[in-house]
Amino acid sequence: MNAPITSLRAGQRVPFTAYVCDDATADALRPVVAEMGWPVEKVHKGGLRNAVQSLSVSASPQILLVDLSESIDPLGDINALAEVCEPGTVVIATGQVNDVRLYRDLVISGIQDYLLKPLSPDTLRDAFMVAHAMLHAPKINDAGVERAHCATAVIGARGGVGASSVASSVAWLLSERNKRSTALLDLDVHFGTAALTLDLEPGRGLTDAIENPSRIDGLFIERAMVKSSATLSVLSAEAPINAPLITDGSAFFQLQEEMRAAFECTVIDLPRNMLVQYPQLIADIQLAVIVTDLTLVAARDTIRLLSWFKTNAPQTQIHIVANRVPPSALLEISRKDFENSIERRIDYILPFDPKLAMEAAKLGKPLAEAGKGSKTIVPLAELADALMACGDAAGSASEGAKKAARGRSLIGKFAFKTMLSKKK
């Protein structure tokens, strides 16, 4: 009993929406919703009936909370909700009836959880974290293998160190050598080089996303991404330099969410200023690569970046890459002095190879592709393998919690309406 998704609903997906019956429930929800980083204005009055009416003409959110307090036939109303609710939505119900049979029937019908009113902040937080885990559960690839999404941000310690070159090479290696479907997202909106490096036209996808965040959904991603190969797609821009970037960052967050659903790996070429302006972009990033050179300025800013990650994103694993490293006699500061300054080891050293860099630029290929067989790119290949291993390990470490979350419902992420159809 799958209802068609209308064009009116396409492209307007939000992370969370609630439909509640009373002010007390709304008041309990709003602080926790704000704490999760979701818009509090998405807490609506009206309960389940209002949810059905609203979602018939708008996109379903990723997480939906509905109040059953005024529902005479909860299971029948849930079936009506399934008619208008898109696959992929995690549904949480709340109500006043303390009945284990009702809870069991609701879970079988596709509800992820049923919360008894009055709602406490801890109960809401737990329910939302479980829902979030379900949304980020590992995907099944075409070969039937379950894999966690691997998200990596590549950041230059300062301008000109070659962070974009490293990002494009890592993305190419993940897609070609590791055979993972990979998205390369270049967030340097005005001066991005990801498309240029791969000899592609950037298109308007990224600028359209910034101008109209409500359009971002799976179909938008499919159309906006520029394919470099069967397993590598790019989203980049060359926005006019007389057009300032006016955004609250929500478009970038939504792009990450949709890419997480569509690809096995995401590599984000993240300029330092974007990290400062939109720190929320790192919230779901497992891995970060700080690209530096062996200079005093880069040492200073590497220290600052490491400190920022320790404070703002302690969950992110950091890899330090020294790029374009000349012979020892030409170094501004030695590797040992650099490592002493940043108080940790450099993970990978990429030697300066001007001939290879020139060849890659002429061919319109990333360094890793142009230098296949060259010793210069061996550290890049090792970096890509390490990122892949770390991403898989992070997914495995959280798999127990995610399976527990999925176990609280008898459906998978995309089976909400299908399960109800079978029940009927």
| pLDDT tens per residue across all 424 residues of the chain | 233 333 333 334 688 999 999 999 999 999 999 888 888 899 998 888 888 888 888 888 889 999 998 888 888 888 888 878 776 788 999 988 887 778 777 877 778 888 989 999 999 988 888 887 777 655 554 444 556 789 999 999 999 999 999 999 999 999 998 889 999 999 999 999 999 999 998 888 898 888 888 888 877 888 889 999 989 999 999 988 887 878 888 888 889 888 988 899 999 999 999 988 888 888 889 899 999 999 999 999 999 999 999 999 998 999 999 999 999 889 999 999 999 999 999 999 999 999 999 999 999 999 999 998 888 899 999 999 999 887 677 555 544 444 444 333 333 333 334 333 444 4
Name 225's Cβ contacts closer than 8 Å, sequence gap at least 6: 183, 205, 233, 234, 235
> Is 10 exposed, middle or buried (CB count within 10 Å of its CB: 0-12, 13-18, 19+)?
middle
Residue 230: per-residue pLDDT: 87
Q: Which ranges of 38-135 would DSSP assign to H, the alpha helix?
A: 47-55, 74-84, 100-109, 121-135
Residue 401: per-residue pLDDT: 42
- DSSP lists the bridge partners of residue 232 as 182
Name 390's Cβ contacts closer than 8 Å, sequence gap at least 6: 150, 286, 287, 317
Q: Write the CA distances from 105 to 78, 99, 111, 270, integer angstroms.
A: 11, 10, 9, 46
DSSP structure class, residue 314 = T
Residue 396: per-residue pLDDT: 54
Give the integer Cα–Cα distance in Å for 275 and 280.
Answer: 8
Structure tokens belonging to residue 414: 């995309």
Which letter, b or e, does each residue of 315-325 get, where b requires 16 or more Cβ atoms within 10 Å of its Cβ?
Answer: ebbbbbbbbbb
Structure confidence by residue, pLDDT tens digits, 292-331? 999 999 999 999 999 999 999 998 999 999 999 999 889 9
Residue 420: per-residue pLDDT: 39
Residue 410: per-residue pLDDT: 31
Residue 394: per-residue pLDDT: 59
Helices 23-35 and 121-135: crossing angle in degrees, nearest 10, is 50
